[in-house]
Amino acid sequence: MIVERGRPAWLTWTVRAVAAAGLVVVLWACLTAWGAVVHGHPAYAVLLVLTVLGCAWALWRNRRPRPARTGGRRVLDVALVVAAIVWIAATAWLRPFTAVEPALTAMFSDDSVTVTESATRVVLAPAGEPAGDTAGDSSGDASGTAVFFQPGAKVEARAYAAVLRPLAEAGHTVVIAKQPLAVAFLAGGAFDAAREAVPAAERWVVGGHSLGGVVASTDAADAADDTDAPAVGLLLYASYPAEDLSSLPVAVESVSASRDGLATPAKIEAARATLPPSTTYTVVDGAVHAFFGDYGPQPGDGTATITHDEARSRISDVSTRFVDAAGR
């Protein structure tokens, strides 16, 4: 075996290769998902920065052959390389889906809707209501019923602006959570923060897409009995609870897609027992999983037989009618 002052050459070159791969992953993430990096929760941007710093440090430290290590230190070196590989793989896997049109256009304010954005949420408020500063700290709600929405896994919040904007046009403030690393399970306190940010809301409909719907189900169950701004509705997009909520005392609307390759019709049907018997089910014929937002195609999804615009219009209509009814 070739050695460098007692240290195996393969270990030095492995460290260099892993560090270089980490920098390539960061560059790839920035080039392909820059909008989501900038407009998403800052956690992923921090992850990218830490990856760059760690890889740069590893390349600098291994720029020359290093002295021999004892057996224990060499095992530690190998363990650190394995940990770095796992870190870099996670960074690549967590690259978010970036919002595309028409969601980007829906992020602009006009005479009907005021849009504000912060590091942790997007707020779509009916025009004329106090939407506060860019943090959305004091938005109001004309109808008294506000909507809190959890995005799907790895999908940035702006991707839902177009499909949810009609709810704001109908008089409901909509708060879309920006989740740490775009994972709903890491945004468990986001609903409570939204309720503090929208003090004028008298009641809430909690919703979510895919994994976001799982967390939204828990949020709705936890807030259903609140005396101050309770949850009165649960709006599921291609999703179902992870626990038995068949006795949940709120209205529930399940919107799914007939061509969904992820939350398949069979999975939606199998989960009926976990939702209240009064749940209303709407199937958007010909739609797929990614049609519940605007973020491009999603691996593992089905093949659509209708246009995204057609699906979005139907999903928005069903959602608006549900939220209107839940607030009565």
Q: What DSSP character marks residue 71?
A: H
pLDDT above 70 covers a percentage of the chain that reads 91
SS3 sequence of 119-150: CCEEEEEECCCCCCCCCCCCCCCCCCEEEEEE
> Cα dihedral angle (223, 224, 228, 233), rounded to 10 degrees?
100
In this prediction, residue 62 carries a pLDDT of 87
Query: Which is more confidently placed, 10 or 307?
Result: 307
Between 11 and 317, where is the model more confident? Answer: 317
- Beta strand pairing status for 3-4 and 7-8? antiparallel
Q: What is the pLDDT of residues 124-135, one digit of tens each?
A: 999 976 554 433
Quick: pLDDT tens for 137-194. Answer: 444 445 799 999 999 999 999 999 999 999 999 999 999 999 999 999 999 899 999 9
Q: What is the mean pLDDT of residues 94-106?
A: 98
3 pLDDT higher than 70: no
Averaged pLDDT for residues 53-65: 89
User: Residue 1: is its pLDDT beyond 70?
Assistant: no
Q: Is 225 exposed, middle or buried (0-12, 13-18, 19+ CB in 10 A)?
A: exposed
In this prediction, residue 132 carries a pLDDT of 41
CA gyration radius, the chain: 23
pLDDT at position 31 over 70: yes
Whether the bond between 265 and the residue before it is cis, its omega within 30 degrees of 0, is no
Q: What per-residue confidence (pLDDT) applies to 131? A: 52
